[in-house]
């Protein structure tokens, strides 16, 4: 087996308020272009529940067990799903599994207030660690391997 391939993906820095930054990038899920947030503080990659219900109607999220800490506290239902054909730049994953399905309503309401478009995906540490991501904020690029 040869050397792992390195992929390069550009991102944008969005300033929501003074000194409040989000790292935004585009991904494709089942051929649908989606705005995503790169979140090094998120344990798991997440997808918006409304996006799944409206744009991926055949997708059936399932309840999962485990520690439910993070967005919104620690007492909430956790759903997970698998999406087909996940793409970030030229990198493709046929089946991206174990995505947390959460309601992004509060995130997108905050984005709307500051004039930003909604997001429907959070790229978390599960992906970043698995693919040995290097984030370069000087060049606004992320490098990772498959």
Q: Is 43 in contact with 97 (CB distance < 8 Å)? A: no
Question: What are residue 143's DSSP bridge partners?
Answer: 8, 134
Pairwise CA distance, residues 24 & 44, whole Å? 17
pLDDT digits (tens, 9 = 90+) for 33-91: 999 999 999 999 999 999 999 999 889 898 876 544 454 555 556 799 999 999 999 99
Which neighbouring-strand residues pair with 123? 38
CA dist., res. 59 & res. 70, Å (int): 24
Q: What is the value of pTM for the model shown?
A: 0.88
Given a contact cutoff of 8 angstroms between Cβ atoms, the answer to whether 23 and 35 are in contact is no
């Amino acid at each position: 087996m040869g050397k792992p391939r390195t992929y390069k993906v550009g991102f944008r820095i969005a300033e929501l308020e003074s000194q409040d930054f989000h790292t935004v990038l585009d991904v494709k899920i089942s051929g649908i272009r989606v705005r995503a947030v790169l979140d090094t503080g998120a344990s798991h990659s997440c997808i918006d529940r409304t996006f799944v219900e409206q744009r991926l109607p055949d997708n059936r999220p399932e309840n999962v067990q485990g520690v439910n800490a993070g967005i919104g506290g620690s007492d909430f239902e956790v759903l997970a799903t698998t999406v087909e054909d996940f793409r970030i730049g030229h990198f493709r994953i046929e089946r991206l599994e174990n995505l947390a399905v959460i309601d992004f309503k509060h995130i997108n309401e905050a984005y709307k207030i500051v004039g930003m478009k909604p997001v429907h995906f959070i790229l978390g540490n599960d992906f970043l660690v698995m693919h040995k991501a290097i984030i370069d904020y000087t060049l606004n690029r992320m490098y990772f391997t498959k």
